[in-house]
Amino acid sequence: MERLRRRADVDLVFKRGRSCATALAVLRYVGRRGPTRVAVAVGKRLGGAVRRNRLRRRWREVIRLGPPLRQGFDVVLVARAAGECASPDQLRAVWAQAVTRAGLAR
């Protein structure tokens, strides 16, 4: 699984993609050709750079260790503030639930 890096690609996911909301994050995704790419977005209202980066790193690790995704999607996970105080097990459960509900799990 690759990382979704270009701002234009992330904007396309927000513009044309579908969404699946949970208590700790919102999953937005759109179909495409090629390997699945994933980005983690954390808004500035969640705090300073240290807090946002810590939350981003936690979500990336959950995604890395989580269930494998089907090929051919761009996925953006938008972190919510409640995820900051959630345990790693809760984050893993939310990720698995969102991916399954969206139909992205392999």
pLDDT at 57: 96
Residue 22 has φ and ψ, to the nearest 5°, of -130, 180
pLDDT at 15: 96
Domain limits at 70?
2-102
pLDDT at 81: 93
Q: State the Cα angle at 2 between 101 and 54, rounded to 5°.
A: 80
Rounded to two decimals, what is the model's pTM?
Answer: 0.92
Number of folded domains in the chain? 1
The enclosing domain of 60 has a CATH number of: 3.30.230.10
Residue spans of the chain under pLDDT 70? none
